[in-house]
Structure 1
């Protein structure tokens, strides 16, 4: 059993190092959070290899592999065009609020990309004479996830240094290259005549031109996407908030001994540090001594105000989940309690006024 697991893992790991699926992982990692890309890789490969292991060699009899490869080729061309599609602020805002969009997108790409590929064929071959087919599935999927994870690391490093527009072009080029290569290698020879190649090239080129035209116009006008704007604002917020929070605590002479993350400010520092690193926040353990300490309330008020400036217009943005936890911590210091849900600005202000109108008026002063 262990031998089958190791054999399946190594076969896929070696086969996929530097292959298209690892490059796909790099491309997706420049656009989506690493956890969602990894989840998508896992789901897509689990379904794909699960199908291979379940059906064994019968897959090739049910659907001709050549047909599967042609479908996959066209799918990659569509992915390339979709990648450079200009997005309105409404589209980007909706994608921010979608929790599963990136996962499904990545899973679909990997599922289609692996149809008829060598790793799926390897899974089929290994499963036909395996004593433990499920172990073969575990080994092949693990191999795909590990190679994809390495691709994600590289993609994230690139994403930190390359402008968003360039990343889109690179990712689209990767998808297009894979699609055209698949079509060239699998299409019937009668469709590889120059006239058909020129027609396809003309259609794709015209589509790319029309899709890029809007994006280039936005760049000339100096407009930035909502995603870039949000990232920039969060970056500035976290760095400014970190400096303020450092000074909110009045030192151990006021609270005897530093409680670290068990203190509301210590936990807020952790949230800010995680936000700066792009890490999902952790939950606060309710067993510690958080409140009743002396803090610089003016700095608390300033920090909460700068937090609310970001949250005011779009409190439901999933990129702001960390900010809401910071907001609640700061509210507890100022008001003695927090507002659990901030659905809209007007209702939020009314909820704060119901707790303490004077502090609320001072807090929202200067917030447009």
Structure 2
């Protein structure tokens, strides 16, 4: 349950103001069909984060416990810094409309998540926790918590969310996880 809750919270906070949330705003404004957009986000996130979690699980098996502790600790600290850098939407990701609402969303979100903060966080979380299913479920719920309101309420909430505060909280959580991991808090997980 810990892996699920931490994964959900981290990704929900990290996703606010992220380029995929900006993409959700863009798709909602363009298509005005929230259900297929949310379905596309859901499917793309599961596929992308399942891949990321598999990479994280593989990395945790390949590296020894001491190396893994340092890699994870430093990765979480790097994520804390990276989360403070605002994202912008790529022009290419907004030109996929010829595929229909669901497929456009699925392709755009899957591509936008490649190498994104939340995908890298999923790799690290899957390496940290020994439950790929809980991490993927948590990161998917986190993505939906951040993006579904963006799809349904769009501009009404965009100006009311203090992005610096949210990003600061997410960075703080990543930093705490990094320091705790470096100090050996993951010993019960074998690293």
TM-score interval, smaller chain: 0.5 to 0.7
What is the deviation of 1:30? 1.5
Q: Is the 8 A contact 1:29 1:156 kept in 2?
A: no
- In 1, Cα distance between equivalents of 2:93 and 2:126: 31
What is the deviation of 1:34? 0.6
What is the deviation of 1:132? 1.5
Q: Is the 8 A contact 2:27 2:105 kept in 1?
A: yes
Query: Is residue 67 of structure 2 the alignment partner of residue 30 of structure 1?
Result: no
What is the deviation of 1:79? 3.2
> How many positions carry a matched residue from both structures?
127
Q: Is the 8 A contact 1:45 1:110 kept in 2?
A: yes
For 2:20, the equivalent position in structure 1 comes to: 21
Distance 1:77 1:30, change over 3 A: closer
Gaps of 5+ in 1: 60-74, 84-94, 159-368
For 2:46, the equivalent position in structure 1 comes to: 46
- In 1, Cα distance between equivalents of 2:11 and 2:24: 15
Q: Is the 8 A contact 1:49 1:120 kept in 2?
A: yes
Q: Is the 8 A contact 1:48 1:120 kept in 2?
A: yes
What is the deviation of 1:26? 1.1
Distance 1:47 1:113, change over 3 A: same
What is the deviation of 1:3? 1.2
What is the deviation of 1:57? 6.8
- In 1, Cα distance between equivalents of 2:38 and 2:94: 20
Q: Which has the larger radius of gyration?
A: 1
TM-score by length of 2: 0.59
TM-score by length of 1: 0.32
- In 2, Cα distance between equivalents of 1:79 and 1:129: 31
Provide Cα deviations, 1:192-244, integer angstroms capped at 9, x if missing partner.
xxxxxxxxxxxxxxxxxxxxxxxxxxxxxxxxxxxxxxxxxxxxxxxxxxxxx
For 1:118, the equivalent position in structure 2 comes to: 117
Q: Secondary structure at the match of 2:129?
A: coil
Q: 1:79 aligns with which of 93, 101, 106?
A: 93
Aligned Cα RMSD in Å?
A: 2.5
Distance 1:81 1:141, change over 3 A: closer
- In 2, Cα distance between equivalents of 1:117 and 1:79: 14
Larger RCO, structures 1/2 (Cα 8 Å, 6+ apart):
2
